[in-house]
Structure 1
């Protein structure tokens, strides 16, 4: 016998993998005489999954695609933008997958966990935070806010507090050996985006060195003979 969450007419099915704030959920509950009791029932059945207080996701049986973790990160704590290691992996700059969804925010830093995973948010000053944001797209077509490849790398640098201002040689080592960034992907980085970060005046010494090192790497790649 099919469960209640298999019902094709279930009012939560139409939301798919989009996170639901309580006001949106209230619209879906408008036909029920006791909406709070219905929420409790859906939670017990697995038709509704809690993300944090006042934010939910339709349960897995009602979704046609997996949960979109970057989109959930945008909704869990905002304003925020997915960046740092998660964004670097998403853009293919680092070889490893990243379990924790890392974001930046102009609000205080915060760490959140729920059944879907861990989400961390690192504070950055607003003028710098707003640079280099773009829309990413999941396989199911859902869009989310994510740092561009160059901005994600800049964020990774300025938030690495154990790093003093680096020489060019040390910066090159940090990029290629410590982070194990793909040199070919570095060759494609948008230098204008790094210059825009530099123009905000935030962490100028570190970002200035990063710009010079990547300029040199791109020049070297441009002059390498074709295989």
Structure 2
């Protein structure tokens, strides 16, 4: 369907689809049929994205994550992998949000959202543009701080422990680490709930 293809990969809500399909006797049934046939993918209740087999374009998990629950930005291992800083594939799209923590599962995968306070949230976020759309994602520095500050049972009280965590546990590109912006680490340390752990990032970097 040309109308659907024109939507591209931007997630759309139910009301937009309903108006787009207003020419059908029952737009609601048509939406259900399109979902059943795989031409529409439901991301959550009331939010859809056009299938790549209709749009001819690859879906963006970052863009979908921003739309499923927000305000939010992609972070932690998802952002580190996106920036090419860790080797392992990441199967859950991880984001930070100003809302309560939530998780969504759909045909695309798992989308996990972790709450953080506003003064911390606003640090080190980048708006990335790609092929006509934009999404919010953590800078490498912020993604690393988020991972350390908001992963349960991660305690990096000593610089040596932190170094082992970076090199062996997440296998971070250490050459890239030593080129990171210390100012973002300092801002995160000032507002983070794991100030000591993030201060150790600064010590290791300097």
TM-score (norm 1): 0.84
Aligned residues: 206
Query: 2:202 & 2:33 partners in 1: Cα distance?
Result: 55
Query: Are residues 1:36 and 2:31 paired?
Result: no
Shift of 1:190: 1.2
How far is 1:23 from its partner? 3.0
- Unaligned runs of 5+ residues in structure 2 are none
Counterpart for residue 5 of structure 2: 13
Contact 1:128 1:202 in 2 (8 A): no
> How far off its partner does 1:27 sit?
3.3
Deviations 1:16-49 (A, max 9, x none): 1111112322331344443212212322333222
- 1:159-216 Cα distance to aligned partner (Å, 9 max, x none): 123133511111111112222111111022111111121232542222212111122x
Aligned to 1:220: none
Cα gap change, 1:24 to 1:152, in 2 (>3 Å): same
Pick one of 130, 139, 159 that aligns with 1:148: 139
Partners of 1:134 and 1:148 within 8 A in 2:
yes
Aligned equivalent of 1:76, options 54, 60, 68: 68
Shift of residue 158, structure 1, vs aligned partner = 0.4
- Equivalent pair of 2:149/2:192 in contact (CA under 8 Å): no
Alpha carbons of 1:162 and 1:127: their partners in 2 closer, same or farther (altered >3 Å)?
same
Change (3 A) 1:201 1:100: closer
Asked if the contact 1:93–1:182 (Cα under 8 Å) also holds between the matched residues in 2, the reply is yes
Q: CA deviation at 1:128?
A: 0.5
2-structure distance, mates of 1:83, 1:68: 15
| Contact 1:17/1:67, CA 8 A, preserved across alignment | yes
Does the residue aligned with 1:212 lie in a helix, a strand or coil? helix
Instruction: Tell me which residue corresponds to 2:174.
Output: 183
CA RMSD of aligned residues (A): 1.7
Aligned 1:64-213 pairs, distance under 5 A:
64-138=56-130, 140-200=131-191, 202-213=193-204
Q: TM-score, normalised by structure 2?
A: 0.92
Asked which structure has the greater CA Rg, the reply is 1
1:35-54 pair list within 5 angstroms: 35-54=27-46
- 3-state DSSP of counterpart to 2:157: coil
